[in-house]
């Protein structure tokens, strides 16, 4: 119904509530609604990047939405992807007819090492965080498992970053709007071997807002709503010690299956996808988990350019997290916003011709949650 987002990146002199207000105003205006039309507010973010506890309270107040219901939804990097699912459920249950879902994160008040401190506690704090685990370290271990098993190379990983930065250069909302070369990626400093700086997304500030409406109302407000056609959500063990697979995210496979089934589509029918590329290796694993290519052929998929516009499945043609930046709580909704633009034919320089069906995929934390949303054009 309505979409809005701030630019992502280091946004100085702006608080999280101000970021949220900007995204919310844009979504209201996009939907042609006013505040009195909103019947509930879902606020999504990761915790501990700022000091505010129970952020739904301050956001509902700052947006002038009291006394409507409000609540906070947290699923680490998948917070707002899950927030959209919660909003959809409320509408389906008949509790509310117009739901605003906002996602936000203000990350740049902490330095990179402090953010690592927060993020390391997205792993098991009893048995893993005491070893100084980090988000890149976990994904590096998955990357190595994929490389070991399928022969995926560091060059193939680098190609993902090259593609996403190429598209990011066309996206005015992206944190990095500059193309890079494979050499830039390969020569960047190691963060957690084999992952290098340009294999990793950047911490960012940003907010997003999506306004969902019941079918009847959506048809009344707009001629061409974009429909949530399929939803999937699944979990995997948080601890690596209780996982059996490291070259794939089991929760992604399940969430995608659920979403495809509900939308009555197959992966092949999807015209454009936004997947969780917090790291280059994750994008390659996602190609396989979401059914864009066979197991083990993710490296070849990017090498052949199949995830560019014109390839078998255009992926992250808005720049992905690698170029856009990754304001944790805002990311899931940002994926859905990019797909919505594609399906409305409003994606400008990165428009996939004739896109009718899109997939937004969002992973939480170190791969313990995955949410998939299939969207359909009117």
Partner 1 sequence: MGFEKFGWVSFASQTKVSKFVEYLEAGKIYGTKCLECGLIQFPPRAYCLQCLSTNFEWTLLSGDCELITFTKVEAAPTSFKEQAPYLLGLAEFSEGPKVLAWIDLRIPEENLKAGTKLKLKPSRLQNGNLSYLLTSPNLR
> Could you tell me the smallest distance in angstroms from the CB atom of residue 48 to partner 1?
12
# binding residues, partner 1 (CB under 8 A): 38
Please write down the HEC assignment for all residues of 52-109: CCCHHHHHHHHCCCCCCCEEEECECECHHHHHHHHHHHHHHCCCCCEEEEEEEECCCC
Q: Which of 226, 212, 229, 237 is nearest to 372 (CA)?
A: 229
Structure tokens at 342: 């594609």
Which of 32, 132, 151, 305 touches partner 1 (CB under 8 A)? 132
The nearer residue to partner 1, 118 or 262, going by C-beta atoms, is 118
Q: How do beta strands 70-73 and 272-274 pair? A: unpaired
- The interface with partner 1 within residues 264-283 (CB under 8 A) comprises none
Smallest distance from the beta carbon of 119 to partner 1, in angstroms? Answer: 8
How far is Cα 306 from Cα 146, in angstroms, rounded to an integer? 19
Report helix, strand or coil for 254.
helix
3-state secondary structure of 231: strand
We find the least distance from the C-beta atom of residue 297 to partner 1, in angstroms, to be 20
- Is residue 137 within 8 A of residue 195, CB to CB? The reply is no
Q: For 85-112, b where at least 16 C-beta lie within 10 A, e where not — what string?
A: bbbbebbeeeebbbbbbbbbbbbbebee
- Residue 109 binds partner 1, judged by CB under 8 A: no
Q: Indicate whether 239 belongs to the interface with partner 1 (CB under 8 A).
A: yes
47 or 239: CB nearest partner 1: 239
| Of 121 and 312, CB closest to partner 1 | 121
141 binds partner 1 (CB under 8 A): yes
Residue 153 C-beta: closest distance to partner 1, Å: 16
Closest CA to 247 of 147, 370, 324, 316: 147
SS3 label, residue 308 = coil
Taking CB under 8 A as the criterion, the residue among 9, 83, 136, 225 binding partner 1 is 136
Please answer whether residues 23 and 11 qualify as being in contact, where contact means their C-beta atoms are separated by less than 8 angstroms. Answer: no
- Nearest approach in angstroms of CB 251 to partner 1 is 17
Q: How far is the CB of 113 from partner 1 (least distance, A)?
A: 4
Instruction: Please tell me which residue in 72, 96, 326, 361 is annotated as part of the active site.
Output: 326
The reply to whether 126 sits near partner 1 by the rule CB under 8 A is yes
Residue length of the chain: 378
Query: Is residue 209 among the annotated active site residues?
Result: no
Shortest separation between residue 160's beta carbon and partner 1, angstroms? 18
Part in contact with partner 1 (CB under 8 A); list of ranges 7-15, 121-129, 173-181, 320-328: 121-129
d(C-alpha 82, C-alpha 73), whole Å: 7
Contact flag: residue 125 with partner 1 (CB under 8 A): yes
Q: Judge contact between 311 and 273, C-beta under 8 A.
A: no
Pairing relationship of beta strands 195-196 and 190-192 according to DSSP bridges: antiparallel
Kindly tell me which of 118 and 169 has the beta carbon lying closer to partner 1: 118
- Name which position in 173, 246, 260, 301 contacts partner 1 (CB under 8 A): 246
Active-site residue, 326 included: yes
Q: Which is nearer to partner 1, 103 or 299 (CB)?
A: 299
Q: Is position 193 an interface residue for partner 1 (rule: CB under 8 A)? A: yes
Check residue 204 for interaction with partner 1 (CB under 8 A). no
Cβ–Cβ < 8 Å for 377, 224: yes
Q: Does 140 bind partner 1 (CB under 8 A)?
A: yes
* 75 part of the interface to partner 1, by CB under 8 A: no
Helix axes 280-289, 135-150, angle to 10 degrees: 60
**Residue 182 engages partner 1 in binding (rule: CB under 8 A):** no
List 134, 164, 280, 281, residue binding partner 1 (CB under 8 A): 134
Point out which residues bind partner 1 (CB under 8 A): 112-114, 116-117, 119-121, 125-134, 136-137, 140-142, 144-145, 148, 189-195, 239-242, 246
Catalytic residues: 77, 326
């Amino acid at each position: 119904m309505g979409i809005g987002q701030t630019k992502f990146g280091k946004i100085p002199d702006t608080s999280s509530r101000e970021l949220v207000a900007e995204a919310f105003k844009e979504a209201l205006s996009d939907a042609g609604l006013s505040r009195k039309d909103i019947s509930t507010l879902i606020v999504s973010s990761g915790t501990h990047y700022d000091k505010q506890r129970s952020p739904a309270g301050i956001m509902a107040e700052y947006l002038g939405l009291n006394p409507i219901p409000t609540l906070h939804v947290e699923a680490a990097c998948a917070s707002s992807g899950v927030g959209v699912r919660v909003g959809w459920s409320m509408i389906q249950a008949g509790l509310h007819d117009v739901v605003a879902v906002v996602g936000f994160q203000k990350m740049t008040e902490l330095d990179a090492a402090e953010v690592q401190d927060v993020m390391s506690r997205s792993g098991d704090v009893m048995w893993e965080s005491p070893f100084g685990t980090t988000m890149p370290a976990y994904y590096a271990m998955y990357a190595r498992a994929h490389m070991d098993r399928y022969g995926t190379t560091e060059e193939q990983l680098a190609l993902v970053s090259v593609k996403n930065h190429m598209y990011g250069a066309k996206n005015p909302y992206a944190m990095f709007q500059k193309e890079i070369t494979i050499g830039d990626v390969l020569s960047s400093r190691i963060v957690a071997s084999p992952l290098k700086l340009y294999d990793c997304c950047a911490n960012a500030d940003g907010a997003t807002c999506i306004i969902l409406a019941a079918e009847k109302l959506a048809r009344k407000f707009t001629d061409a709503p974009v429909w949530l056609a399929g939803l999937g959500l699944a979990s995997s063990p948080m601890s690596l010690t209780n996982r059996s697979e490291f070259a794939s995210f089991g929760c992604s496979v399940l969430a995608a299956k659920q979403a495809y089934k509900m939308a009555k589509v197959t992966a092949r029918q999807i015209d454009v996808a936004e997947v969780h590329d917090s790291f280059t290796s994750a994008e390659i694993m996602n190609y396989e988990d979401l059914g864009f290519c066979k197991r083990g052929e993710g490296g070849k998929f990017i090498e052949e350019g199949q995830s560019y516009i014109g390839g078998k499945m255009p992926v992250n043609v808005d720049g992905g997290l690698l170029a856009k930046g990754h304001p944790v709580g805002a990311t899931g909704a940002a994926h859905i916003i990019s797909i919505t633009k594609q399906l409305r034919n409003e994606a400008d320089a990165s428009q996939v011709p004739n896109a009718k069906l899109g997939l937004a995929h969002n992973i939480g934390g170190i791969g313990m949650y995955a949410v998939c949303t299939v969207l359909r054009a009117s």
